[in-house]
Amino acid sequence: MLTVHGVGKRYGNARVLEGLDLEFGKGVYGLLAPNGAGKTTLLKLLAGLLPPTEGEILYEGQPLAVLDERYRLILGYLPQRFGYYPNDTPLKYMQYLAAIKGMDRRKALSRSEELLDLVALGEVKHKKMKTFSGGMIQRVGIAQALLNDPRVLILDEPTAGLDPKERARFRSLLTQLGRQRTVILSTHVVSDVESAANEIVMLQGGKLWVKDHPEAICKLLAGRVYEAQLTDTEIEDFRTRYVLLGERSEPGGWKLRFAVEDGTVPADSWQGVEPGLEDVFLYVYRDRQPGNVPSGTIWGDEVRL
Ligand SMILES: Nc1ncnc2c1ncn2[C@@H]1O[C@H](COP(=O)(O)OP(=O)(O)OP(=O)(O)O)[C@@H](O)[C@H]1O
Ligand SMILES: [Mg+2]
């Protein structure tokens, strides 16, 4: 169990995270927030790579700072940007990292091969990485994070650069990995975590906004998401009155998906739809304009939108 107690982080005078209390047990946790929200900062804190400015992080009741090397032995970490030598092959790179982690040579070779097969790079394990696509490099990154069969696996935007087929494979890998360990990954791609994560963590203004099952988070917008067919002239009015969640052009106009304020009486022509996680994401992190409906707020323990 990884426990975050009253954690805050400042870079100089700039406060990035504030008053975070979180618990991570076995399973897959998706950290979902827009660019610059503090995802990488939080993951580095959880990986023990950055010290918090306030509060503390514990693994099985012991502060990370005290565990130090012992925590690194059970941790797998994929940084948002990771360094490698372009002339290395993935197999050589994995073996090099395994040596740094103190694995014996024979074990390092078999484990590296097994993991490269797992991320479908077995056939190119002897090719230089400079010939790889961004998605292939990312898969090497995922494989190296698994070298020590970590109890805690932290992945910073692991799906960046993966094509839809690779994303699907990654989602099933996540589910598999989350059965036996704590997996925490960041993303701003909602579909990466909507089905694969047991819980979603969302940050708002440096604070925890919500940590819950995806279905429970979607329910926050229940009864407030609609679709309607509109003409060009109607659309502008909708833009200012409601929060736009999607639009596509249709013959004779537009099909709009939007969220309304609680208590709004729908027009007959609107069709109510089930909110998805993407709707909640777009709603919570929309551009705030004067007159827009208020943002998600936390009232005691209760989260409301
Ligand atoms: N080393 C640093 N020194 C100063 N400010 C930093 C540092 N690292 C991050 N920041 C700032 O902290 C904030 C959060 O950054 P962070 O990288 O944690 O966000 P993120 O959610 O991971 O963003 P992205 O989606 O772009 O990866 C940003 O405003 C960023 O400019
Ligand atoms: Mg980041």
CA of 36 to the centre of ligand 1 (A): 5
* Least trusted range by pLDDT, from 82-91, 123-132, 235-244, 288-297: 288-297
- Cα–Cα distance between 115 and 96 in angstroms, integer? 14
Report the mean per-residue pLDDT for the chain.
90
Which ligand 1 atom lies nearest to the CA of residue 157? 27
Which domains are present in the chain? 2-212 (3.40.50.300), 219-304 (no CATH)
Q: Measuring from atom 30 of ligand 1, which residue has the nearest CA?
A: 36
Each residue's pLDDT tens digit, 60-89 = 999 999 999 899 999 999 999 888 999 999
CA of 36 to the centre of ligand 2 (A): 7
- Identify which of 20, 39, 184 to mutate to test ligand 1's pocket (most ligand atoms within 8 A of the CB): 39
Backbone angles phi, psi at 252, to 5 degrees: 85, 5
Question: What gap in Å lies between CA 267 and CA 82, rounded to an integer?
Answer: 51
Q: pLDDT tens across 168-227, in order?
A: 888 888 898 999 999 999 998 898 898 889 999 999 999 999 999 999 999 999 999 999
pLDDT tens-digit readout, 268-294: 999 999 999 999 999 999 876 544 434
Report d(CA 304, CA 32) in Å as an integer.
Answer: 18
Name the strand (E) or helix (H) holding 31.
strand 27-32
Q: pTM, whole model, 2 decimals?
A: 0.90
* Atom 2 of ligand 1, nearest CA residue: 11
